[in-house]
Amino acid sequence: MNYQNDKKTISIPLVVAITLVVGMFIGATFFGKRTSSIDLGSNVNNKFKEILMHIDQSYVDEVSIDSLADYGISQMLLKLDPHTAYLPKQEAVLAKSELQSGFDGIGVEFNIFNDSLFVVSPLSGGPSEAVGIQTGDIILKADSTNLTGSKLSNTLVFNTLRGPRNSIVKLTVKRKNFSKPLTFNVKRDKIPTYTVDAAYMLENSKIGYIKINRFGETTYDEFKKSLQDLKNEGMASLIIDLRGNPGGYMDKATSIVDELVGGNEVIVYTKGKDKSNNYTVNAGQKGIFESGKIVVLVDEGSASASEIVSGALQDYDRATVVGRRTFGKGLVQAPIQLSDGSELRLTISRYYIPSGRSIQKPYELGNQLDYRKDIMNRHNSGELFSKDSVKFNNKQKYKTKGGKVVYGGGGIMPDIFVPQDTSYYNTYLFELFNGNIFREYTLEYAAKNKVSLEKMGYETYMKTFQINDAMLTDFVSMATKNKIPYVAKDFKNSKKYIQTQIKALIARNVWKSKNGLVNEYYQIVNQDDDMVKIAQKQLMK
């Protein structure tokens, strides 16, 4: 399969890839929470405090001692591996909520567009839905905090709308066809978070598809339920999509592997300086799907726990791995909570998958810049577009259970390579995404046409509905009004992709699956997805 990729089009998805990688430097494979009581001696303990005390007492200008301390800690950790990190209290709370089963808030999916905070959807059963917040509402204020203008950001929204359970926030809302703003008092409650995005049967087949976006507190339970539901629908083989999945809790990954492999052999083991951090996880429980073909989809954004799943299944010859070489994160972090609520995520060991290989890519202590450039280097070397550009270390050659040769020292190399397709990418498309045009247009279209679309029904919509030229004209017009100049050549090049995204996002806004699933979106976009097509062919052999 040959794609025509030039340097301009390739550079745009690279920006997305680099953004994705940022999350991985926080560390993704955690053990349980820890506290520290290590005595390093009075000299080391007191030196840092002593310097800060002198600055606080005698420095000529007013400065924030807390900010200086945070900065000093962060700079110190740069001398270690790329995944050891320090999170100030606020960041620690936000990062933790991404993996835990829920957080306390008002329960809305939102979109920032034109310096305004739009409600994409009140979450089903959540506090906002209960008081009457609707899709398309614009939240102007939360208590006395303005949520409009150039200072509006995701961080401001999270800080304002999240809060202690049972606390009340007064929302001032602008609603279409109402001359005056509306006021709602919303009592915050626990909002569930989901990590399985999709679980459905591919059309006219016995192939199930499950998409996991990260490995959080509830991932195993979500996966197991989805797996059983698909088996009940007649699933005989399975696609597990781990593309762009940066990892998460290691025990959730090993539990998923255990559902898919028989026996009681090793799934993963760890080695570190402190022997108390060394342990082995074996299979053992009777799994739901221990027979039947499996394909795992991966790419350069699949890291940590994703690599445990794909690597272990590959080592057992239990699954065919399809895609591109994974990120290569085989370092294990322990979250150590500090006294002020901040958190140290300290690398304590390396993990190894059944063949004995480590998938951690090389790094130099204190040289995080080169490590962060790895995805860019893969792009520049052509690795993302040609299997022949991937270089293996023959000193790290291992064998799977069935004798197939695999390599350690830098991610999981797929059994079937699929090049990155950037043929439809260009600056205009990037600006459309960056300006939230897709989300805003499809939200508006769905709101105006919801009744007729629901009457049509999703199955008919998926098979027959077309994004016509009139819709595309309105879409381009919205972009132009929002200072994204029309580029005819780029639009023509991306037209099919744009149509697919618009159709899928409209479906997502009109029909909502239960338990956080967005099957309608993935059923549409996966029809044009090369990796899914290759996986389907592999499973039908």
Contact 264, 45 (CB under 8 A): no
Question: In angstroms, rounded to a whole number, what is the distance separating the alpha carbons of residues 91 and 158?
Answer: 11
Question: In angstroms, rounded to a whole number, what is the distance separating the alpha carbons of residues 242 and 235?
Answer: 19
Count CB neighbours of 45 within 10 A.
12
DSSP tag of 423: T
- Give the residue numbers annotated as catalytic, written as ranges: 304, 315, 329
Question: In angstroms, rounded to a whole number, what is the distance separating the alpha carbons of residues 95 and 259?
Answer: 28
Question: In angstroms, rounded to a whole number, what is the distance separating the alpha carbons of residues 205 and 509?
Answer: 27
Q: Give Cα 229 distance to the centre of its chain.
A: 24
List helix spans (H) across 387-436. Answer: 427-434
| Cβ neighbours of residue 261 closer than 8 Å, sequence gap 6 or more | 267, 283, 287, 290, 312, 313, 316, 318
Question: In angstroms, rounded to a whole number, what is the distance separating the alpha carbons of residues 522 and 33?
Answer: 35
- Write b or e for each residue in 294-328: b if 16 or more Cβ atoms lie within 10 A of its Cβ, otherwise e: bbbbbbbbbbbbbbbbbbbbbbbebbbbbbbbbbb
Contact 360, 328 (CB under 8 A): yes
For 12, phi then psi, to 5°, come to: -70, -50
Contact 106, 161 (CB under 8 A): yes
Three-class secondary structure of residue 297 per DSSP: strand
Contact 175, 182 (CB under 8 A): yes
DSSP string, 471-498: HHHHHHHHHHHTT----HHHHHHHHHHH
Contact 43, 33 (CB under 8 A): no
The single residue listed with the structure tokens 């070489």 is 325
The single residue listed with the structure tokens 């023509």 is 492
* Closest to 469 in 3D by CA, of 435, 502, 420: 502
Question: In angstroms, rounded to a whole number, what is the distance separating the alpha carbons of residues 161 and 416?
Answer: 45
Three-class secondary structure of residue 166 per DSSP: coil
CA-to-CA separations, 405 to 140, 167, 208, 318, 400, in angstroms, rounded: 59, 57, 28, 15, 6
